[in-house]
Amino acid sequence: MHLPFGKIPIDILQEVVFKNLGAKRTEVVLGPAAGFDGAVIDVGDKSIIVSTDPITGATERIGWLAVNINANDVATFGVEPAFFLSSILLPENADKNTVETICIQMDKSSRDLGMAIVGGHCEVTPKLTNPIIVGCAMGITEKGNYVTAGGARIGDKLILTKSAGIEGTAILAVDREKQLKKALSSTILRNAKKFYDQISVVKDASEAIQTQGVNAMHDPTEGGVTGGIHEMADASNLGVKIIEKEISIQPETVKICEFFKIDPLQLISSGALLISAKPNLANKVVRRLEQSHIHASIIGEFVENPQDRLLVKENGRIQTLPRPVSDHLWLIIQREKDYWKNV
């Protein structure tokens, strides 16, 4: 049986990937584990936060995305991202302009975040149809001075910044503009394209961590908000109860998801940040974010039983919180692939 597009299933991670991790090193405080955004390596009196992610489902602004998506993962530890490396894989028809466009995007986004590009690799790869960038971001902090996605506690309030499906909305508005023009107004598409400007969560994480009310943070990327919530609950070995009506979804996302018949809560959501906040300080975290012009709302809470993953629908009905088999951006790509295969 072939694997679905996107992240491989958690059971394969546990049965295969996590059983083949090379030598054990005492410096590794946090290695590969379900739900965690990166690794922690202790060197002397410092902790180094390291994360890596590919950009595969987008073609526009791919260099910009590579920097910001990887920087986000470091920021969820409450640590400033400082260094970036990339492996750029180019399709057979690539030229100098392709390389220049990607590098200029990475340069600008790295400068905006105060990050240095310290190395990488670039090649033309046979049979590749679109560029792929695999990025790696790092940050340095005092030893032990960080949070992880696995730090949530029973009774913690779960906060979501901004809204669901931010990155997916931007990608679809740009890469599927011709299709969307048939049903959506130019205003909606223009606004949706600007969602790229919301994708960084570095400021979200920095403001939240300063309240001293944060136990854990995680950015919902592939699998969207529901996938991110599951990953956070997995990492913390807890259950969760989510109130659907409290999850913000912008009108542009709603319209685009309706057009493609996909769930906005299962659409790649880089730009949003999930925060597990101490119950008595959750409102303080929300206020701090709102004062920094970052929309935030309490969407649920963590509960003791890891088997309880609940979603309270807007009509009051309680159901199991969906765990995405594949991000719904990939569903669109798979549908198109199947269509052309059958034509």
Distance of CA 39 to the CA centre of its chain: 16
**Taking residues 97-121, what's their average pLDDT?**
97
**Taking residues 182-202, what's their average pLDDT?**
96
Indicate if 166 and 136 belong to the same structural domain. no
Q: What is the CATH number of the domain that holds 255?
A: 3.90.650.10
Indicate if 39 and 85 belong to the same structural domain. yes
Indicate if 91 and 193 belong to the same structural domain. no
CA dist list (Å): 183 to 124, 180, 258, 263, 336? 37, 6, 10, 18, 18
Tens digits of residue pLDDT in 307-340: 999 999 999 999 999 999 889 998 888 887 664 5
Kindly report the length of the chain. Answer: 343
Residue 156 makes CB contacts below 8 A (sequence gap 6+) with 215, 216, 276, 277, 278, 279, 282, 301, 302
pLDDT at 183 over 70: yes
Indicate if 195 and 318 belong to the same structural domain. yes
Q: Tell me which of 78, 109, 142 is where a domain ends.
A: 142
Do residues 322 and 226 lie in contact, with contact meaning Cβ atoms separated by under 8 Å? yes
Indicate if 135 and 161 belong to the same structural domain. no
User: Confidence band (pLDDT; 50, 70, 90) for 343?
Assistant: very low
Q: Tell me which of 84, 113, 142 is where a domain ends.
A: 142
Do residues 328 and 224 lie in contact, with contact meaning Cβ atoms separated by under 8 Å? yes
Q: What is the CATH number of the domain that holds 95?
A: 3.30.1330.10
Indicate if 200 and 331 belong to the same structural domain. yes
Residue 5 maps to a domain? no
pLDDT, mean over the chain: 94
The pLDDT value recorded for residue 87 is 98
Indicate if 191 and 264 belong to the same structural domain. yes
Residue 18 maps to a domain? yes
Residue 148 maps to a domain? no
pLDDT at 342 over 70: no
Residue 44 maps to a domain? yes
Indicate if 164 and 212 belong to the same structural domain. yes
Q: Rounded to the nearest 5 degrees, what angle is found at the Cα of 296, between the Cα atoms of 292 and 300?
A: 155
**Taking residues 299-313, what's their average pLDDT?**
98
The pLDDT value recorded for residue 339 is 47
User: Confidence band (pLDDT; 50, 70, 90) for 57?
Assistant: low
Q: Tell me which of 79, 111, 142 is where a domain ends.
A: 142
User: Confidence band (pLDDT; 50, 70, 90) for 341?
Assistant: low
Residue 185 maps to a domain? yes
User: Which of 52-61, 135-144, 185-194 is predicted with the least confidence, judged by mean pLDDT?
Assistant: 52-61
Percentage of the chain beyond pLDDT 70 is 97
Domain assignment of residue 117, given as a range: 10-142
Indicate if 116 and 182 belong to the same structural domain. no
Residue 192 maps to a domain? yes
**Taking residues 74-81, what's their average pLDDT?**
98
Indicate if 210 and 101 belong to the same structural domain. no
Rounded to two decimals, the pTM is 0.92
Indicate if 73 and 16 belong to the same structural domain. yes
Residue 147 maps to a domain? no
Integer Cα distance of 17 and 33 in angstroms: 10
Q: How many domains does the chain have?
A: 2
The burial of 244, by beta-carbon neighbours within 10 Å (0-12 exposed, 13-18 middle, 19 or more buried), is given as middle
For the chain, give the secondary structure using H, E and C.
CCCCCCCCCHHHHHHCHHHCCCCCCCCEEECCCCCCCCEEEEECCEEEEEEEEEECCCCCCHHHHHHHHHHHHHHCCCCCCCEEEEEEEECCCCCHHHHHHHHHHHHHHHHHHCCEEEEEEEEECCCCCCCEEEEEEEEEEECCCCCCCCCCCCCCEEEEECCCCHHHHHHHHHHCHHHHCCCCCHHHHHHHHHHHHHCCCHHHHHHHHCCCCEEEEECCCCCHHHHHHHHHHHHHCCEEEEEHHHCCCCHHHHHHHHHHCCCHHHCCCECECEEEECCCCHHHHHHHHHHCCCCEEEEEEEECCCCCEEEECCCCCEEECCCCCCCHHHHHHHHHHHHHHHC
Do residues 17 and 34 lie in contact, with contact meaning Cβ atoms separated by under 8 Å? no
Two tokens, residue 205: 């994480």
Residue 3 maps to a domain? no
Of 48, 76, 94, 24, which Cα lies nearest the Cα of 231? 76
Indicate if 209 and 319 belong to the same structural domain. yes
Torsion-angle region of 336 (φ positive above 0: left; ψ -120 to 50: alpha; else: beta): alpha
Residue 239 bridge partners (DSSP): 303
